[in-house]
Every structure is written in C-alpha cells, then in structure tokens.
Amino acid sequence: MTETIEIRSSVELPSRREALTLRTSDGLDLVAELALPADREPVATLIMLHPLPTHGGFMDSHIYRKAANRLPALADLAVLRFNTRGTESPHGKSQGEFGHGVTEEADFRAAVAYAVARKLPNIWVVGWSFGTELALKYAIEEPVLGAILLSPPLHRTTDAELERWAHTDKRLVALVPELDDYLTPTQAAERFSMIKDIELIGVDGAKHLWVGEAATKRVLDEIVRVVNPGCYPLPDSITL
C-alpha cells in the first residue's frame, strides 16, 4: 500500500540514521549523526557546519535538521551533522569549549576524515553563518568538491582567506538573504568580488535565520541544484 506524504515543516522521511562520535586530533569526542538514503547508496555527501553555538546554533538548527530529514529520501544525499566543541543540542553535547573558529579547525577536519574513511562520495561542505567561516578557512585544503555558504557574515574571514578561493577549482556558492542583519547581497558582492567564479545568490525577502517553510525549501532546493541537479527542484510531496 502506498502513501503520499506532503513535505511540510515537521516531516521526517525514511532514511538510515547512525549516531556517531567524531574524534578530533586534540582528543575530543564530538556528537554527530549520519543520515543516508534508506535503500540505496548516496550519490553525494553534505558535511554541515552549524551556526554560532554561543547564539543558539547547533547540529539540530532547523535547516540542518530538515536537510537530514528530507534530503536522503528526496535527493539521494548523505547528510553528516555534528556539534562543534562545547556545543550542546538535543543530540547531546560535544566535549571541549568554544574556540572562536580557531580550535574548531580540528572538528571540521575530523568530520572530513570520517567521510573520507567511510568512502562517502562527492563530499560538499555546507556552512551556515559561523559555519561559513569555518568552511572558508579550512575547506579549501580538504578533499571536498566545494562549499555552499548560507548567510555568510564574514566576521572572522580575512581577505587573504577569501583570496585563496580565487585560485582553486573548488566550487563556491553563497546564498545571501536580502534582509540579513550582518551581510546583505550588495555588501556580499563587494566582499566576494575577488572571487570571479563564485555563484552569489541574493534571496529576496529572506533573513539570516531562514525562518519559514518557504525559506527552508529555497535553501534545500539550492543545495540540491548544486550537488545533485537531477533531483532539482525538490518535490512538494512524495509517494512511499
């Protein structure tokens, strides 16, 4: 018997979920989860870097929770989420303490190392707010295809770090909300101007936190368009 499920805010589609512990090079255990398609292998992998933990960001922030709930089923993606050091969410608390984007380098590298060791395919990094700063600082040196930035504030990102992205074949995509509190599309165009190949997308009416189902759908659609375009756009319902 089949059932048609409408894709709404709280929906959780079938997937294989694995609770994980990532071990960092400096000896910390990080809470993590890997979501995989229920009955097939993924075609690409997302490593999710969450918003600022001192302002409520964690691996269960709503865009990332919904990505894990939907994208394995709708787009054949593996979604790897984790709490950076000292961060606590409904999944649990990672060891250590907040490192202002510096010591979190080891957290990010532990996630990439896990994905590589697991032989997960076509690895992409998705950063949101604070997570974009980790992506811009550290992803360029890792075996990933590129980075997707959601609401990049560019507070901790130097021009020298941005300049490196102008000299790489890794893809860089940035979604910038029209009404962002930290960096508007016009400001983003100026800050990113040195990176000629960046795909810069201003999103009308959106805010930094991407609140609401319409904003969520836009973000997840854009992620899928980049990493698995054959599944773009995402459907409004699915029959199981």
As a whole number, mean pLDDT of residues 193-216 equals 97
How does residue 2 score in pLDDT terms, banded at 50, 70 and 90?
A: confident
Angle, helices 104-117 vs 130-138, to 10°: value is 70
Give pLDDT, residue 178.
98
Q: What is the C-alpha to C-alpha distance for residues 40 and 238, in angstroms, rounded to an integer? A: 17
* Percentage of the chain modeled with pLDDT above 70: 100
Within a 13 Å sphere around the CA of 1, how many CA atoms are in the beta-carbon half? 1
For position 88, what pLDDT does the model report? 98
> pLDDT tier at 25 (50, 70, 90 boundaries)?
very high
Q: Give me the count of residues in the chain.
A: 240
pLDDT (tens digit per residue) in 91-133: 999 999 999 999 999 999 999 999 999 999 999 999 999 999 9
The full set of domains in the chain, from first to last, is 4-239 (3.40.50.1820)
* Two tokens, residue 176: 């910038």
pLDDT at 130: 98
- Residues 13-21 have a mean pLDDT of 98
- The pLDDT of 209-231, averaged and rounded, is 97
Task: Decide if pLDDT at 1 tops 90.
Answer: no
Q: Which residue type occupies 133?
A: E
Read off the tokens for 190: 């100026």
Q: What is the mean pLDDT of residues 38-66?
A: 98
Share of the chain above pLDDT 90, in %: 97
The dihedral sign for the CA sequence 53, 59, 61, 64: positive
Q: In this predicted model, what pLDDT tens digit does every residue of 142-182 receive, in sequence order?
A: 999 999 999 999 999 999 999 999 999 999 999 999 999 99
Tell me the whole-structure pTM to 2 decimals: 0.98
